[in-house]
Structure 1
Amino acid sequence: MKLKKKYQLLLCTAVISVPVLLLAVSILMSMIYESVFKPINNGMPFHKSFAYPAMLLVFFLSLLLLAVLFSKSINSLLYKINVLNQTIRHLAADKQIPNKLEVKSDDEIGELIKSVNLLIERTTYRELELRQLEDMKKELLHKLRHDLNTPLTAVRLQLFYLEGQLNERAPIFESLYQQIQYISELTNEFNLYSTDTLDNSYILNDEVNLNDLLENMVKKWSYLYSIYDIELVYHPISKVLIWNSNDLWIQRLFDNIFQNALKHSKAKKLEVTIENSVVLIRDNGIGFDIHRKSAGLGLKIIGDISRLLKIRYTLRSDKHGTVFCFTASKESI
Structure 2
Amino acid sequence: MKWFKSLQVKYLLIVFLAMAIIPISIPIISLVVYVPATYIEGTTKNHPYTSYKELEEEWHKEATTLSEENENEVKTRLQELHNKYTDSQIFWVDKFGVTRDNFGYNGSLPQKWTSSYTVQFMKESIDSDPYTVVAFFNEDSTNGFMVIKVDRQLLDPPIQRLSNHYGTITLVVIALILVFFVILSWLFFRSIHKRLLRLSNAMQMKDNQNIPKSITITRDDEIGQLEESFNQMIHELKLSNQREQEQEILRKDLIANLSHDLRTPLTTIRAQLTHIKDEVKSKKGNEALEAINYKIDYVSTLIDNLLSYTLLSAKKYPYHPVKIELNRFVRKIVAQWYPLFEKQQVEIDLVTNPNFVEWNVDPLWLERILDNLLQNVIRHASEGKYVQIAIENHHTVTIQDKGKGYTSKSNNQGAGIGLTIVDLMIQEMQLEWSIEKNEIGTKVTITTNIK
TM-score of the two chains, using structure 2 as the length reference: 0.53
Seen in structure 2, the aligned counterparts of structure 1 residues 317 and 202 have a Cα distance that, compared at 3 Å, is: same
Give the one of 42, 56, 61 matched to 2:154: 42
Aligned residue for 2:443?
A: 323
Helix, strand or coil at the partner of 1:208:
strand
Tell whether 2:16 aligns with 1:12. yes
Helix, strand or coil at the partner of 1:232:
strand
Tell whether 2:260 aligns with 1:256. no
**% identical equivalent positions:** 22
Q: Output the CA distance in 2 between the equivalents of 1:85 and 1:237.
A: 55
Deviation (angstroms), 1:245: 0.7
Helix, strand or coil at the partner of 1:42:
helix
Aligned residue for 2:430?
A: 310
- Residue identity opposite 2:375 in structure 1: Q
Give the one of 220, 224, 247 matched to 2:336: 220
- Residue identity opposite 2:14 in structure 1: L
Give the one of 55, 65, 73 matched to 2:188: 73
Seen in structure 2, the aligned counterparts of structure 1 residues 109 and 60 have a Cα distance that, compared at 3 Å, is: same
Deviation (angstroms), 1:259: 1.6
How many residue pairs are counted as aligned between the two chains? 307
Q: Output the CA distance in 2 between the equivalents of 1:244 and 1:21.
A: 82
Give the one of 371, 382, 386 matched to 1:269: 386
Deviation (angstroms), 1:243: 1.5
Q: Output the CA distance in 2 between the equivalents of 1:233 and 1:147.
A: 39
Tell whether 2:145 aligns with 1:30. no
Aligned residue for 2:89?
A: none
Tell whether 2:216 aligns with 1:104. no
> Does the CA-based 8 Å contact 1:289-1:317 persist in structure 2?
no
> Does the CA-based 8 Å contact 2:341-2:378 persist in structure 1?
yes
Query: Highest Rg: 1 or 2?
Result: 2
Aligned residue for 1:83?
A: 198
Q: Output the CA distance in 2 between the equivalents of 1:37 and 1:284.
A: 111
Deviation (angstroms), 1:154: 6.6
Give the one of 395, 399, 402 matched to 1:281: 399
Seen in structure 2, the aligned counterparts of structure 1 residues 147 and 239 have a Cα distance that, compared at 3 Å, is: farther
Seen in structure 2, the aligned counterparts of structure 1 residues 248 and 153 have a Cα distance that, compared at 3 Å, is: farther
> Does the CA-based 8 Å contact 1:311-1:327 persist in structure 2?
yes
* Partner deviation per Cα, 1:45-82 (whole Å, 9 max, x = no partner): 22236x87566555544554454445443333333323
Deviation (angstroms), 1:208: 2.5
Q: Output the CA distance in 2 between the equivalents of 1:140 and 1:10.
A: 64
Aligned residue for 1:173?
A: none
The farther-off stretch of 281-290 and 215-224 is 281-290
Seen in structure 2, the aligned counterparts of structure 1 residues 89 and 240 have a Cα distance that, compared at 3 Å, is: closer
Q: Output the CA distance in 1 between the equivalents of 2:201 and 2:345.
A: 66
Aligned residue for 1:117?
A: 231
Aligned residue for 1:168?
A: none
TM-score of the two chains, using structure 1 as the length reference: 0.69
> Does the CA-based 8 Å contact 2:327-2:353 persist in structure 1?
no
5+ residue gaps, structure 1, are 166-175, 291-295
> Does the CA-based 8 Å contact 1:232-1:269 persist in structure 2?
yes
Q: Output the CA distance in 2 between the equivalents of 1:237 and 1:317.
A: 25
Structural mapping, 1:110-259, within 5 Å: 110-140=224-254, 143=257, 147=261, 158=271, 192=311, 194-195=313-314, 203-236=319-352, 238=354, 240-259=356-375
Helix, strand or coil at the partner of 2:379:
helix
Seen in structure 2, the aligned counterparts of structure 1 residues 193 and 126 have a Cα distance that, compared at 3 Å, is: farther
> Does the CA-based 8 Å contact 2:255-2:306 persist in structure 1?
no
Helix, strand or coil at the partner of 1:320:
coil
Deviation (angstroms), 1:250: 1.3
- The CA RMSD measured in Å over matched residues stands at 4.5
